[in-house]
Structure 1
Amino acid sequence: MSRSIAGFDFGTSNCAVGIMQGKQAQLVKLPEHGNYMPSTLFAPQSEMICGWLYQQLDAQDKAQAFQQARGQQLSASLRALKELKLDGYDEHLSFGQQALKEYLVDPADCYYVRSPKSFLGASGIRERQQQQFEDIAAAMMWHISQQVKQSGQAELAKVVIGRPVNFQGLNSEVSNQQAISILSNAARFVGFEQVEFLYEPMAAGLSYQQQLQQEQRVLVIDIGGGTSDVSMLIMGPDYLATRDHQELVLGYNGERIGGNDFDIALNFETLMPSLGAKLKLASGQPMPIKPFWDAAAINDFPAQTRFYEKDTRLLLQRLLKEPQLSPLKGLLRLSDERQTYQLSACAEQAKIALSEAQTSTVDLSYLIEQLQVDVTQEAYQQAAERLLNSIATLSDDVIAQAGCQPEAIFLTGGSANSPMIKNFLAKRYQAPLISGDNFGSVTSGLTLWADNIFE
């Protein structure tokens, strides 16, 4: 079988693959997902992921590297798969929208991961957790690579993968090394022959510069699902082919702020109060806020772990002895039925609705009978203020690094559609605001770069 060169956007919110068609980068339409696969994975049990991946690789004689890396852990996972079958459970993994559908059938009895990229740079993870992240990333890469083959394209071989400037983590350099190691190992396990990484805002900029007739200094602001990356780039006709891309970077910075964080902020500030977040204890003390934040922070692995721990449940049960704190029953139910992702999805839908409407009504009757919460644009603006200012701080830092003002601002990423974000940036910076393909710019740029560097 022929082997292909591709750009691979392993995104926080969505994954996509691009290949060259003539001189144009084209996104591959994945049979089960379309151009974009939501970055989600469902498994009946977490223990089965390793064994499932091995079985897929082994069926195509590609399991050697993975088998050597996992050893006894693989044996335990294969036993777990066998037990699942005996107990009448499905033995498959699901991805994208199908993963969410299966999670919602019984959230308390499954393993569901949304935006695994958010966790790759997390501080303090143990070796076993890192291996689990490798297995999740590899399972998603494997599924997408098989989707590419089913679409009629050649098997992926030489791939450029996008990366943020900084992954999440307290020590950015250590976090970046950890995340790149996870992605590199995952790519090796699934059989990619060559892998290179390119900063995502640079990739987005590469797509835009193809349109230019003369040199420009462009501030690329890429607001993705989990990260925001800002770069000041020199762009111009044929610069991709004729100039070293590192020489074209005048400044860059990145932080773990993205669409997920806007969902979290809206959730925490406008939905959690209906579950008791702003109530007072009988002693007059404010309600402990940590359980509410941990429940909302779906992109924070330690926070989600804490929320589902026994200590949090005991705290909520103790607080519920005070009659005026009865709304906490909704938060306790959120924990019992493991529905933090569902609540976050409600916040995300409200955020999308508020792009066009002044008010959005969120149905929380699955937590408290007949509970409906009205969220206004003004409340969302207040909830998002800190995040908007953080994006502005990133942009100001990059402008200072570059020592010049941008001649244009190229806005991309899944959250770039937000009128609130566009209006904020337009008021702050006196430069033309250009919107690219908010989801496809990075993938197209990665594909252009892959075509440039690989033979």
Structure 2
Amino acid sequence: MFVGFDYGTSNCAMAYVHNGQARLIPLYGSNTFAHSTLYACERSFIAEAVWQQLPQGEDKLLFAKSRSALLSQSRAGKQEHSIANVRDGLFFGQDAIDHYIAAPSEGYFIKSPKSFLGASGLRQQSVDFFEDVVAAMMLNVKIRAEEHLGQTITQAVIGRPVNFQGINAQHSNQQAQDILTAAGKRVGFREIEFLFEPLAAGFDFETRLTENKRVLVVDIGGGTTDCSMVLMGPAHIQQLDRAQDFLGHTGERVGGNDFDIQFAQKLLMPEFGINSPLSTGLPMPIMPFVNAMAINDIGAQTDFYDMKTTQLLEKLSRETTEPLLLNRFIKMREGKHNFAVVREAEGGKIALSTQSNCAIDLGFIESNLAPVCAAQDFAEVSTQLLQKISALITEAVAQAEAQPDIVYLTGGSAKSPLIQRVIRSLFGEQIAVVDGDHFGSVAAGLGVWAGRVFR
């Protein structure tokens, strides 16, 4: 059986074709989405979970050889946690978030691993790790989908952004796609095709067009913004080779997560001492605070938890004129609460899309700590990100050498009124702007395409 698989930065979803229409597959009860999160009681459990489900043969032997140290650690970990199967020590989606919040320093938590797949300078050990993380998350979604469908899924069209990472894009894109392919093969996808996510979102929309149109698809997801100008409509929809219909593509790693991180850095970190003057007369170094909130940057996270940062914070504790604020920051670091702070920033971002201000509950750091943030302040600190998105849209139109007839707006972050203002500033009221299914259109479009390439 074939599916479309949206392995997203924020959420994962699968779609299949039934009676000619793409349908999202319920994964958790009636919920068709799973947060792109994983919590492991032991990091080694991730590798063993992948190894367990590999069929007997050379691939399983090679995998065991390359992960031998982790598999040995996993055996000891199972004894320590008194579990017989590592899957009892792995949690996904909302379960992963709940376990992380309950015990942030006791396990291993990863959010939005897709953000890291194109990172420059990854060593083979890191590539292996991300293959295992992606495979474990894919397997969780695949098993749940198969239970609902009552069939084994062997073919998948997987979505990918135009660019995973801005630096050395060609190498970055190949590395990320190779990781996704390796993970997909290990969980049982015998055939895998890839499709740009904005095009997938557009294909779902195309099924509802009755006239041929130039459609600018703007897909603003959790990790990336992708734009594609595509010829769509009845004259194009049945063609398997759509290369001549694609008039322009742009994409960059800027998405909803970046707005969350910017919110946390600029509006929340002042409560942790980022602006505190030092007794030496020098300003507070900002990099520890920036790195703490940059949860989608593997290098920043490594630096944040490095011993050099420990030593720097000890020095700053003696020099800061506001020790209570810096102590909050140190407490957050010791408890590994930086992911939770960014998660609260995300909630604040969502709240400010419909109200002028909101309080951010940081009571897990300190009782009654709830700074109030204003929508206007969030808009101001988001200016640079909005300019990047505007530039991507403008470049896609320039490549097409034509204005769109319709702007199709999709992706979880596209609901933001800040994004809506950018679109209207570029196109005014003359061009129709259509809001798609902000979370489901990519998966549905991947399902549509899977029905064409695997039929």
TM over 0.5: yes
Amino acid at match of 1:245: R
| 8 Å CA contact retained: 1:67, 1:74 | no
- 2:46 maps to what in 1? 49
Amino acid at match of 2:358: S
- 1:423 maps to what in 2? 421
Corresponding pairs, count: 448
Amino acid at match of 1:155: T
Amino acid at match of 2:63: R
| 8 Å CA contact retained: 2:28, 2:34 | no
- Does 1:75 find its partner at 2:72? no
Q: Distance in 2 between matches of 1:69 and 1:174?
A: 25
- 1:443 maps to what in 2? 443
- After superposition, the Cα gap between the structure-2 partners of 1:310 and 1:449, relative to the gap in structure 1 and judged at 3 Å, is same
| 8 Å CA contact retained: 1:31, 1:151 | no
Pick the aligned partner of 1:273 from 270, 273, 291: 270
Q: Distance in 2 between matches of 1:335 and 1:65?
A: 43
- After superposition, the Cα gap between the structure-2 partners of 1:287 and 1:65, relative to the gap in structure 1 and judged at 3 Å, is farther
- 1:338 maps to what in 2? 336
* SS of structure 2 residue aligned to 1:372: coil
Q: Distance in 2 between matches of 1:66 and 1:118?
A: 27
Q: Distance in 2 between matches of 1:246 and 1:24?
A: 23
* TM-score (norm. length: structure 1): 0.95
Q: Distance in 1 between matches of 2:228 and 2:71?
A: 45
- After superposition, the Cα gap between the structure-2 partners of 1:33 and 1:23, relative to the gap in structure 1 and judged at 3 Å, is closer
- Does 1:376 find its partner at 2:374? yes
| 8 Å CA contact retained: 2:51, 2:63 | no
| 8 Å CA contact retained: 1:294, 1:304 | yes
Amino acid at match of 1:239: H
The range that moved more, 363-372 or 206-215, is 363-372
- Does 1:405 find its partner at 2:403? yes
- After superposition, the Cα gap between the structure-2 partners of 1:243 and 1:109, relative to the gap in structure 1 and judged at 3 Å, is closer
| 8 Å CA contact retained: 2:50, 2:186 | no
- 2:144 maps to what in 1? 147
- 2:220 maps to what in 1? 223
Shift of 1:423: 2.2
User: Where do 5+ consecutive residues of structure 2 fail to align?
Assistant: none
Q: Distance in 1 between matches of 2:347 and 2:28?
A: 25
| 8 Å CA contact retained: 2:64, 2:71 | no
- After superposition, the Cα gap between the structure-2 partners of 1:387 and 1:49, relative to the gap in structure 1 and judged at 3 Å, is same
* SS of structure 1 residue aligned to 2:140: helix
* TM-score (norm. length: structure 2): 0.95
The range that moved more, 98-107 or 243-252, is 243-252
Pick the aligned partner of 1:245 from 225, 230, 242: 242
* SS of structure 1 residue aligned to 2:67: helix
Q: Distance in 1 between matches of 2:181 and 2:247?
A: 27
The range that moved more, 425-434 or 96-105, is 425-434
1:271-311, CA deviations, whole angstroms, 9 ceiling, x for partnerless residues? 01111111222222221111111011111111111111111
The range that moved more, 64-73 or 46-55, is 64-73
Q: Distance in 2 between matches of 1:30 and 1:65?
A: 32
Fraction of identical pairs, as percent: 39
| 8 Å CA contact retained: 1:16, 1:36 | yes
- 2:199 maps to what in 1? 202
Q: Distance in 2 between matches of 1:15 and 1:54?
A: 22
* SS of structure 1 residue aligned to 2:149: coil
The range that moved more, 68-77 or 425-434, is 68-77
* SS of structure 2 residue aligned to 1:146: helix
- Does 1:282 find its partner at 2:279? yes
Shift of 1:157: 0.9
| 8 Å CA contact retained: 1:201, 1:220 | yes
| 8 Å CA contact retained: 2:51, 2:64 | no
Pick the aligned partner of 2:301 from 276, 300, 304: 304
Shift of 1:336: 0.4
- Does 1:454 find its partner at 2:454? yes
Q: Distance in 1 between matches of 2:181 and 2:78?
A: 32
Let me know the Cα RMSD of the aligned residues.
1.5
- After superposition, the Cα gap between the structure-2 partners of 1:33 and 1:344, relative to the gap in structure 1 and judged at 3 Å, is farther
Shift of 1:33: 7.3
Amino acid at match of 1:445: G
Matches within 5 A, 1:18-167: 18-31=15-28, 34-55=31-52, 57-58=53-54, 62-64=55-57, 66-88=59-81, 90=83, 91=86, 92-167=89-164
| 8 Å CA contact retained: 2:386, 2:422 | yes
| 8 Å CA contact retained: 1:41, 1:94 | yes
Pick the aligned partner of 2:183 from 177, 181, 186: 186
Q: Distance in 2 between matches of 1:292 and 1:441?
A: 36
Shift of 1:74: 3.2
Shift of 1:89: 5.0
- After superposition, the Cα gap between the structure-2 partners of 1:190 and 1:33, relative to the gap in structure 1 and judged at 3 Å, is farther
Q: Distance in 1 between matches of 2:59 and 2:376?
A: 51
Amino acid at match of 1:411: L
- After superposition, the Cα gap between the structure-2 partners of 1:304 and 1:88, relative to the gap in structure 1 and judged at 3 Å, is same
Pick the aligned partner of 1:263 from 260, 263, 267: 260
Q: Distance in 2 between matches of 1:243 and 1:384?
A: 40
Shift of 1:65: 5.8
Pick the aligned partner of 1:10 from 7, 10, 18: 7
